[in-house]
Amino acid sequence: MNSSFKDFLSYNKRERNGIIVLLAIILCLLVYLNYDPDPVAVADENLESFADRHQELTSKEKKSGSIQEKASGVPEQMESRSEQPTISGFDPNMISDEGWEAMGLKEWQISGIRKYMKKAGKFKSKEDFKKLRVINDKLYKRLEPFILIEGGSGAEKGLVSIKEYINRNGNINIELNAASIKDLQSLKGIGPVLSERIVKYRDWMGGFYKKEQILEVYGIEDSLYMKIKDHVKLDPVMIKQININKAMTEVLKKHPYIKWRIANAIVNYRDQHGLYKDVSEIKNTDLVNDELYRKIAPYFSLE
């Protein structure tokens, strides 16, 4: 010991200071290693944190992916309920770019319409609209029933004259799956309150597949229904369907006919048995009986 101390003193002051600093560093390292938390525990904690975060993000992505509405240039007739836009009567000469977008047209299609109008002027008939290169047959077929051109013939008299036209032609039918609040007020006995309720309920449902469904709207009595039923029509193709091979529980349970446990059963069955090959397979969940199936089947699609 004395020999080691003498050896230490044999170094000059600068060398001794260097040795002291080195020893201090070694001491700090020893303290750090002795008090460092269990690396396995830290790893487990980090892994759990990552897993929780991943699960949270995945859940958000699935929810977002299920309810995200796509603005397709040619709206699919069998798209999910949130994907397909609502269309009511419109005059192509008066509608704004935002209005076209709301009906599912893409920017290049809207640009094509504007170029036509700049070159040829206003649309004088539905046939003029049909001739557009940016409007294919499938899209035109879907839009055609709602085209109301000011100055045209018959129902093309324009949006502002719909009520007058109905009064003159008592047999006209209003498309329930496309009618606006204003359109519905043209029906006898339907005022602002009831028309708004009908539209809200229709949009919540995704559309009507039979006329009797409007009796489910609060305030629509049997007597009123009998008065208006012959003046409305339905196109079931316009129903906004839910893709049961993609939709999650959160989306399914939003439909007024589908409770949470039903929605959860439909999703669980898909997860266990793979994608549905036929809508009727939802009856295999045991929670969907024949009566419920008849009510909800029109709102489901496989793609």
pLDDT in tens, 174-219: 889 888 888 898 888 999 999 999 999 999 999 999 999 999 999 9
196 assigned to some structural domain: yes
97 assigned to some structural domain: yes
pLDDT at residue number 98: 72
pLDDT at residue number 20: 80
- Same domain for 220 and 272: no
109 assigned to some structural domain: yes
- Same domain for 146 and 117: yes
Q: Is the pLDDT of residue 137 over 70?
A: yes
Give the Cα separation of 119 and 131 in Å (integer).
14
User: Last residue of some domain: 116, 134, 169?
Assistant: 169
pLDDT at residue number 71: 38
Structural domain containing residue 207:
171-238
CB 264 within 8 A of CB 107: no
User: Last residue of some domain: 222, 238, 254?
Assistant: 238
User: Last residue of some domain: 238, 255, 285?
Assistant: 238
pLDDT at residue number 105: 85
3-state percent helix, strand, coil for the chain, nearest multiple of 5: 60, 5, 35
Provide the whole-model pTM: 0.47
- Same domain for 149 and 222: no
User: What's the pLDDT tens digit per position in 231-253?
Assistant: 898 888 888 999 999 999 999 99
- Give the H/E segment covering residue 100: helix 97-102
43 assigned to some structural domain: no
271 falls in which pLDDT band (50, 70, 90)? Answer: very high
6 assigned to some structural domain: no
Q: Which residue has the higher pLDDT, 57 or 180?
A: 180
Average pLDDT over the chain, rounded to an integer: 76
- Same domain for 153 and 164: yes
Give the contacts of 55 (CB within 8 A, at least 6 positions apart). Answer: none
Give the contacts of 111 (CB within 8 A, at least 6 positions apart). Answer: 134
Name all contacts of 286-293 with Cβ < 8 Å and 24+ positions apart: 287/261, 287/262, 288/262, 292/257, 292/262
79 assigned to some structural domain: no
CB 98 within 8 A of CB 106: no
Give the Cα separation of 217 and 251 in Å (integer).
22
Give the Cα separation of 219 and 205 in Å (integer).
17
CB 220 within 8 A of CB 126: no
Q: Is the pLDDT of residue 28 over 70?
A: yes
**Domain with 181 in it: what CATH number?**
1.10.150.320
- Same domain for 224 and 190: yes
Residue 170, classed as helix, strand or coil, is coil
282 assigned to some structural domain: yes
- Same domain for 121 and 195: no
Instruction: Tally the domains of the chain.
Output: 3
- Same domain for 144 and 91: yes
Query: Mean pLDDT throughout 280-290?
Result: 93
- Give the H/E segment covering residue 165: helix 162-168
pLDDT at residue number 33: 66
Give the contacts of 172 (CB within 8 A, at least 6 positions apart). Answer: 155, 165, 166, 231
H-helix segments, 206-259: 222-228, 249-252
10 assigned to some structural domain: no
Q: Is the pLDDT of residue 32 over 90?
A: no
- Same domain for 160 and 127: yes
Lowest mean pLDDT among 20-24, 60-64, 111-115, 222-226: 60-64
- Same domain for 157 and 188: no
- Same domain for 121 and 107: yes
- Same domain for 195 and 165: no
Q: Which residue has the higher pLDDT, 95 or 288?
A: 288
CB 300 within 8 A of CB 282: yes
User: What's the pLDDT tens digit per position in 144-169?
Assistant: 888 887 655 444 444 434 444 444 44
- Give the H/E segment covering residue 200: helix 192-205
